[in-house]
């Protein structure tokens, strides 16, 4: 199993540009999570999906952030327009159908730098 795959690994962009982060969960996993990690705030849950449906997006910081999961094997997190304070490492994670009772599997993250 290839694990959770995220792309790109690194993204450097200028303030105001649109940024799209991509995630491919582990095949057969029904839950997909987007997390953000910063030195100041640690790991924060942004949004999670169950069977491609967004369940809880209360962690999405503001309307500039949006996430989609068009099918079971792909999800995107979009920031438009990006700001320097969005600089962080963004992680995608997935877990099997037993969701709450199963461990999360994380991707290697996308390090975003907004200048």
Partner 1 sequence: KQEVTQIPAALSVPEGENLVLNCSFTDSAIYNLQWFRQDPGKGLTSLLLIQSSQREQTSGRLNASLDKSSGRSTLYIAASQPGDSATYLCAVRLNAGNMLTFGGGTRLMVKP
Q: Site for partner 1 (CB under 8 A): which residue of 55, 80, 84, 113?
A: 55
The reply to whether 56 sits near partner 1 by the rule CB under 8 A is yes
Nearest partner of 20 among 70, 85, 68, judged by Cα: 68
Q: Which of 1, 2, 42, 63 binds partner 1 (CB under 8 A)?
A: 42
Comparison of 81 and 106: residue with beta carbon closer to partner 1 = 106
With binding defined as CB under 8 A, does residue 18 bind partner 1? Answer: no
Coil, helix or strand for 61? coil
Tokens linked to 60: 């999405």
CB closer to partner 1 out of 59 and 81: 59
Which among 73, 91, 93 is positioned nearest to 33, based on CA atoms? 93
Mark residue 7 as left, alpha or beta (left: phi above 0; alpha: psi -120 to 50; beta: remaining): beta
In the complex with partner 1, the residue whose CB is nearer, 57 or 81, is 57
């Amino acid at each position: 199993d290839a694990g959770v795959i995220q792309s790109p690994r690194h993204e450097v962009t200028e303030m105001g540009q649109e940024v799209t982060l991509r995630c491919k969960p582990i095949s057969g996993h029904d839950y997909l999570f987007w997390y953000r990690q910063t030195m100041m705030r640690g790991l924060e849950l942004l949004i999670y999906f169950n069977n491609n449906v967004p369940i809880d997006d209360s962690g999405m910081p503001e309307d500039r952030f949006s996430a989609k999961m068009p099918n079971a094997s792909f999800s995107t997190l979009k920031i438009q327009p990006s700001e320097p304070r969005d600089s962080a490492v963004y992680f995608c994670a997935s877990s099997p159908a037993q969701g709450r009772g199963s461990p999360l599997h994380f991707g290697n993250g996308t390090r975003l730098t907004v200048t």
